[in-house]
Chains A and B, each alone.
Chain A
Amino acid sequence: MSTLHCHDKSDALSLSPSSITDLSYGQEVHRRIGTAAGVAVLTLGVGAIIAFSKSKKHYIGITWDADGKKGGIALQADKNEYRGILTALEGVTGKKAVDTDEDAAKKNK
């Protein structure tokens, strides 16, 4: 049986794995321009290197249908942990996480 408690004092969200309908994963890539500008004030070379480096944000999407109560959330995960979270979620739900970036790339072809 599915359970969902969104307004519990202790839990912001509590779901049974069977209520999960979809898992997704996506990342946002951006250049560290802001950081680079700050560092460039001190050392121009290091600032330039930082400006050309990229940082990624990893997002995990979870949607659910708990006894007719549908919803979804996006969570930002650490770069060292997002794979573990995805595998854990895939393992307990039996759903395969959809890579939204891959889907978008296919659509743009």
Chain B
Amino acid sequence: MLEFGHPDHRRRAVAEEAALTNDMVIKMVQGGLPADTIIRTINTAPTVNFGFLPSDLTAISNAKVPEDVFKAMALRHKTVVPVPSAEPVPAKSATPTPALVSVAARPANIERLSAAPITAPTGKGYAVKYSGGSLESLKAGEDLKLFVASEHIALPR
């Protein structure tokens, strides 16, 4: 029997076709699945392809997707867990592997976007200018770095 393409490529193609999307999550919410189950599904899905455009956010909001589920979606945004090899590997741990591989075709700015929620405050951060507000110790126009992490939002001096 003829087979086309490298086996790894075929497995990756199948994995990407089966990527978890916003619609699938919304269907799970509307189907009454518990938030924990949905989050576990998001965290363990081999591939995800979530969208966060304004229309996507509106659909998520209208579907009353729980906050924790939305956070899990944002953390897994457009990341791909390496496709497992054909040979079965004995499971070492019940927790999913933390090693996430970015989708290759993604533009550079989107790369940072997906990594942002899991960036520690000690990471690179976003270059921003303070334009005014409650912080009297800062002057408008002052260059700062904004760090966004799941437990911390910081503007170091």
Contact = CB atoms under 8 A, between A and B. Distances in A.
B67 A88 contact: no
Interface string B121-137: 00000111111111101
Contacts, number: 133
A6 B128 contact: no
Contacts of A83: 109, 113
Interface string B56-81: 01000100000110110111010000
A6 B134 contact: yes
Contacts of A20: 153
A92 B109 contact: no
A88 B157 contact: no
Interface residues of B, number: 43
B112 interface: yes
Interface stretch (A36-44, A47-55, A67-75): A67-75
B134 A75 contact: no
Nearest to A94: B67
Given A88-B113, A94-B67, A12 B127 contact: no
Interface string A8-32: 0111111111001000000000000
Contacts of B42: none
B32 interface: no
A14 B157 contact: no
A92 B117 contact: yes
Contacts of A16: 151-153
Interface of B: 52, 54, 57, 61, 67-68, 70-71, 73-75, 77, 109-110, 112-113, 116-117, 119, 126-135, 137-138, 144, 146, 148-157
Given A76-B130, A89-B148, 7 more contacts: A10-B157, A15-B154, A62-B153, A74-B131, A74-B132, A77-B128, A84-B109
Interface of A: 6-7, 9-17, 20, 59-60, 62, 71-78, 80-81, 83-85, 87-94, 96, 99
